[in-house]
Amino acid sequence: MKTRKALAVLLALVMLVVPFALSSYAATAPSIVTNADVIAYTDTEYFNPQGLVINDGTTDVVYTPSNKDFSFVPALNEPLSVETTQINVFYKNVACGTIAITVSHTLTGKLEHIGNGHGEYCLGCGQLFNFARHTIDVPGDADNLTFDHVEFDEKFFKPENIIPNDDGGFFVPQTQTGTCDVCGGKETINIPQSEKFLTIFGNEMTGLETDIVLYFYQIAVSLIQMLIGIK
């Protein structure tokens, strides 16, 4: 009987003490009162806590760079990334809450010549955006299974900005160099069927005659490549 009374008294004390302790903790736990002024960033910037106000449990505390009791994750010296969606705020190493932010890529809006096209790199993460090829593939058969050659994309190259180069050979096609109207980059591609071997027969050949010449031309090229490969 005495044991039961003792347990009952202990239980009553616990029920009285626990709510008081919880309410006391809630009253002293730090929390965010006012978010920072800036919540939208690019990925070359750092979080700026200016304007942040927290309550340390008793009074409001305004963030200042000299107050070393504040800390953040990501840290203030860590560049933000587009994957960052919130800043964790701590005061005296105790979590106060989070601040929701948005981080976007840093794009200049100026396209530059890159490889066989143009695009722009993000200044923050280096990712390539808005890439477009300068040339288009031209089908070489009825089923569009292979490509005969490439041509300049007329969206980027005006005819007056495409200049033929006098560099063709008997079995080597002549090239042409174009300047892109968008990025100013230069591209050089072959002019289809510009080999001098094909011009010795004149321009009055029928379609069948052209096919025959091309057939023998391919045989000749293959033989030359084979001979070059023999040591």
Q: What is the pLDDT of residue 62?
A: 97
* CA gap 28, 59 in Å, rounded: 10
For residue range 147-169, what is the model confidence (pLDDT) as tens digits? 678 999 999 999 999 999 988 77
For residue range 13-28, what is the model confidence (pLDDT) as tens digits? 445 444 544 444 445 6
The per-residue DSSP string of 49-60 comes to: -TT-EEE-SSSE
Q: What is the pLDDT of residue 15?
A: 54
* CA gap 222, 227 in Å, rounded: 9
* CA gap 163, 174 in Å, rounded: 11
SS3 211: helix
